């Protein structure tokens, strides 16, 4: 049997195994979901008919998500994590011979799914400080006319983000391009475009339960757009793409999100303190630079990525190593986890 060349050339996404006492590499929440929310989920799961297929329309789930996100249920489509939605966007909205535009460095799965779908990728490279001019993106897009422009906002792994004003500029000047704004980390910033989805027919927003909502284990994401666009997008998904278990858990968690808001506040405070402490260590040692970030992680730029990464692993602490970018990405953990990180980093240095 001859395998397709595209398959032979693919590099699989390689997440770190859950075998380190302090795991600060995946941008997960360090909080468990609160006990009252857990009890709501257990009650919801207990009443499921496991012998029946899930609700194909995720009716109750989308209603709960609509209340949490401040949109209408008709503006939402649920997916098996944002990854499924990204895959569907690339396969559905980029025609044969079409182009997906990305702004790199960014989430590697955008390019991964483009390669899988044999879609051409147009890349706009960010400056060394990871900032990018919307006008330069527009200039390149005007010449190349991509079918879809996709980017995370704020960005993973670079930490920076576009303001609403900058995204409006992109949307208004790229009327024939679907602009997909992946807001996986927007719960940690204040520039969401969700309130404006009815304003732009070429805007689609992705949201996830994996970061701020402390539910990475259920694999649940949402696409938000105008009703007409969601209706077309719905044609592309499999009939039962979100399991009954995930729908039940997501619905129970989203019925009241005050618990998540409290956790987000604490995550941001821990991140602020971690950033200050890392900046102080950077001044003392001169070994690295701490970069600005609008997310739940701190970025460290250093020429000693591998040395620091391995030294931390040896001490039971896992962070994300982007050696090609001279970056270590460190998720803000609990106070205890952050203290262990700082102690271990001091030892390695």
Over residues 95-137, the pLDDT tens digits come to 999 999 999 999 999 999 999 999 999 999 999 889 899 999 9
Per-residue pLDDT, 10 = 75
Over residues 169-178, the pLDDT tens digits come to 999 999 999 9
Strand partners, 301: 289, 327
> Could you state, in order of their start, the residue ranges of all structural domains in the chain?
5-30+259-348, 35-256
Q: At what angle do helices 335-348 and 258-285 cross, to 10 degrees?
A: 20
Contact indicator for 140, 122 with CB cutoff of 8 Å: yes
Q: How far is CA 256 from the centre of its chain?
A: 22
Q: At what angle do helices 109-116 and 81-93 cross, to 10 degrees?
A: 50
Per cent of the chain over pLDDT 90 is 92
- Compute the half-sphere exposure of residue 94: CA atoms within 13 Å on the CB side of its CA: 30
Is it true that domain 35-256 has CATH number 3.40.640.10? yes
Q: What average pLDDT is seen over the chain?
A: 95
Strand partners, 290: 300
Characterize the bridge pairing of strands 317-318 and 320-322. Answer: unpaired
C-alpha 154/C-alpha 166 separation (Å) is 13
- Note whether 5-30+259-348 and 35-256 share their fold: no
Contact indicator for 320, 180 with CB cutoff of 8 Å: no
Per-residue pLDDT, 6 = 80
DSSP class of residue 98? -
Kindly indicate the confidence band of residue 154, based on its pLDDT and cuts at 50, 70 and 90. very high
Per-residue pLDDT, 192 = 98
Helix, strand or coil, per DSSP, at residue 18: coil
Contact indicator for 155, 184 with CB cutoff of 8 Å: no
Over residues 1-45, the pLDDT tens digits come to 888 888 887 777 766 666 889 999 999 999 999 999 999 999 999
Per-residue pLDDT, 16 = 64
Its CATH architecture, for the domain 5-30+259-348, is Alpha-Beta Complex (3.90)
Going by C-alpha positions, the residue among 220, 234, 330 that lies closest to residue 275 is: 330
Rounded to 10 degrees, what is the CA torsion of 166, 91, 110, 187?
60
What's the predicted TM-score (pTM) here?
A: 0.95
- Compute the half-sphere exposure of residue 319: CA atoms within 13 Å on the CB side of its CA: 31
């Amino acid at each position: 049997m001859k395998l397709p060349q595209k398959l032979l050339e693919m590099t699989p996404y390689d997440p770190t195994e859950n075998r380190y006492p302090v795991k600060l590499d995946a941008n997960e929440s360090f909080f468990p979901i609160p006990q009252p929310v857990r009890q709501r989920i257990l009650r919801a799961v207990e009443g499921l008919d496991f012998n029946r297929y899930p609700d194909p329309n995720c009716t109750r789930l989308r209603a709960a998500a609509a209340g949490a996100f401040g949109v209408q249920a008709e503006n939402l489509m649920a997916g098996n994590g944002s990854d499924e939605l990204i895959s569907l966007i690339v396969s559905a909205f980029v025609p044969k011979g079409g182009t997906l535009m990305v702004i790199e460095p960014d989430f590697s799965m955008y390019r991964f799914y483009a390669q899988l779908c044999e879609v051409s990728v147009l890349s706009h490279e960010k400056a060394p400080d990871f900032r990018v001019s919307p006008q330069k993106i527009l200039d390149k897009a005007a010449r190349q006319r991509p079918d879809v422009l996709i980017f995370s906002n704020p960005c993973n792994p670079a930490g920076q983000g576009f303001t609403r004003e900058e995204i409006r500029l992109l949307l208004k000047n790229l009327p024939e391009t679907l602009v997909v704004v992946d807001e996986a980390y927007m719960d940690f910033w204040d520039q969401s475009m969700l309130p404006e989805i009815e304003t732009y027919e070429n805007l689609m927003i992705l949201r996830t339960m994996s970061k701020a909502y402390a539910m990475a284990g259920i694999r649940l994401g949402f696409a938000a757009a105008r009703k007409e666009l969601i209706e077309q997008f719905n044609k592309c998904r499999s009939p039962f793409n979100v399991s009954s278990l995930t729908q039940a858990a997501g619905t129970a968690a989203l019925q009241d999100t005050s618990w998540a808001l409290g956790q987000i506040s604490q995550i941001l405070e821990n991140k602020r303190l971690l950033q200050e402490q890392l900046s102080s260590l950077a001044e003392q040692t001169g070994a690295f630079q701490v970069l600005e970030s609008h997310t739940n992680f701190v970025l460290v730029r250093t020429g000693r990525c591998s040395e620091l990464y391995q030294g931390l692993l040896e001490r039971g602490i896992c962070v994300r190593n982007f050696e090609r970018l001279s970056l270590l990405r460190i998720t803000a953990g609990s106070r205890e986890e952050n203290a262990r990180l700082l102690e271990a980093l001091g030892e390695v240095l």
